[in-house]
Amino acid sequence: MFNKLRLLTPGPTPLPEEVRLALARDMIHHRKQHFREIMARVQKGLQTLFGTRQIVLPLSASGSGAMTAAIYSLFAPEEKVLIVEGGKFGERWTEIAKMRGLTPCALSVPWGQAVRPDDLAEVLAKDHDIRGVLLQVSETSTGVLHPVQEIAKVCRQYDVLLVADGISAVGISPCPMDDWGIDCLLTGSQKGLMLPPGLALIALSERAWARAEVLGPGCFYFDLPAERKKLEKHETHFTTAVNLICGLEESLKILLAQGLEAVYKKQWALTMLARTGARAMGLELLAREHYTWGLTSVKLPEGVDGLKVLQIAQEKFGVCLAGGQDQLKGRIVRIGHMGWVDWGDVLAGLYALDRSLVEAQGFSGARDYLEQAMAAYQTALSGMPGEVPGKVFVRS
């Protein structure tokens, strides 16, 4: 028996009480002063979260809407773009690019591995027609964290725009847009921002804005220059998701009250907890080296039905986990530990995975996996030596 369902998927994620209460407030009008005051406060918080001096545009859409807005605003039909394809959402860039009439060039990497900046530089050096590089900061389908800071340097060297999908990264792991040299950073509301789905956020660098202004809008709805003009008055171009903006104000208060360094430290510690616990069960991790924070992808043993594992975990233990997509369907379990999730939730997720694995005809001889997981969490939080990357937190 369980008292509540624990949502441990990589989006949507659980909602803090303050956010749920804000979503339940009486409706206000999006062209009146009350909304403008909220939007002004939200904008300041978003600029801190994105690490940018540029305006951060809210769009009433999912994260894929922001991906579409980026492609239609920054590239003209028949232009060539280089897309890092290392998972389901890398492939989504290609699908949107084809719909726009672009010429996508794929730099494919095995699912579970990160792209090498040197490989990307080699492609750009050979093909001077490429106008942009599109990739994920965090590839949600695999749990891989691409080396975006290094890739941004390569893109600047070859004078191409870097468009980064930060849907599973913003508010979860560091990706300061201005410091790293990202030309377009976007995210969605339902992950690190601790909101329901339905709101996308996108910011452009100065040179990306110059490109968008010259190119002109490629889409009636996703007209970013028109959105920026309205946002200068703390309004939106079209009717927006007013209640999500109100909820966003509250979620930003929570994130920024702690300070981003504390947020990232917690997310890193939860990542260490999940990875250590899974390994202690004798399970193999999909992303061995360049792994994202907030999401752990675990390979299942041969012969174990991943769909059955997910079903048992939810029905018997009240834990909702995510499975694999496309070629990884039924072969991995993805444990989400981003947003409004704490160590108790992740320990429950590991226990549910262990017991569900056994009931799905798998084997687990683990005895102290929860203790090992918790020890890794405490080590990560205390900053003791261990599996800690250099400069993992906020850059000055």
The Cα–Cα gap between 67 and 90 comes to 11
Task: Return the axis-axis angle of helices 242-258 and 260-280, rounded to nearest 10°.
Answer: 90
Can you give the pLDDT at residue 386?
Answer: 44
Look at residue 41 in the predicted model and tell me its pLDDT: 98
Predicted local confidence at residue 393, as pLDDT: 37
**Residue 231: what pLDDT?**
97
Spell out the per-residue pLDDT of the chain, length 396, in tens: 778 899 999 999 999 999 999 999 999 999 999 999 999 999 999 999 999 999 999 999 999 999 999 999 999 999 999 999 999 999 999 999 999 999 999 999 999 999 999 999 999 999 999 999 999 999 999 999 999 999 999 999 999 999 999 999 999 999 999 999 999 999 999 999 999 999 999 999 999 999 999 999 999 999 999 999 999 999 999 999 999 999 999 999 999 998 999 999 999 999 999 999 999 999 999 999 999 999 999 999 999 999 999 999 999 999 999 999 999 999 999 999 999 999 999 999 999 999 999 999 998 888 999 999 999 999 999 874 444 443 443 332
Contact 176, 169 (CB under 8 A): no
> Which domains does the chain show, CATH number per domain?
17-257 (3.40.640.10), 260-382 (3.90.1150.10)
pTM for this prediction: 0.95
HEC string for the chain: CCCCCEECCCCCCCCCHHHHHHHCCCCCCCCCHHHHHHHHHHHHHHHHHHCCCCCEEEECCCHHHHHHHHHHHHCCCCCEEEEEECCHHHHHHHHHHHHHCCEEEEEECCCCCCCCHHHHHHHHHHCCCEEEEEEECEECCCCEECCHHHHHHHHHHCCCEEEEECCCCCCCCCCCHHHHCCCEEEEECCCCCCCCCCCEEEEECHHHHHHHHHHCCCCCCCCHHHHHHHHCCCCCCCCCCHHHHHHHHHHHHHHHHHCHHHHHHHHHHHHHHHHHHHHHCCCCECCCCCECCCEEEEECCCCCCHHHHHHHHHHHHCEECEECCHHHCCCEEEEECCCCCCHHHHHHHHHHHHHHHHHCCCCCCCCCHHHHHHHHHHHHHHCCCCCCCCCCCCCC
How confident is the model at residue 394, as a pLDDT? 37
314-to-46, 115, 225, 351, 370 alpha-carbon distances in Å: 34, 34, 45, 12, 19
Let me know: does 136 contact 94? Beta carbons within 8 Å.
no
Sign of CA dihedral 36, 37, 42, 45: positive
pLDDT value of position 366 = 85
Give the pLDDT score at 2: 78
Q: What is the dihedral of CA 311, 312, 317, 319, to 10 degrees?
A: -30
Please name which of 268, 270, 241 lies closest in space to residue 337, comparing C-alpha atoms.
270
- Phi, psi angle pair for 44, to nearest 5°: -60, -40
Q: How many whole angstroms separate alpha carbon 164 and alpha carbon 372? A: 35
pLDDT at 90 (0 to 100): 96
Token digits for 370? Answer: 């929860």
Cα torsion 173, 50, 204, 113 to 10°: value is: 0
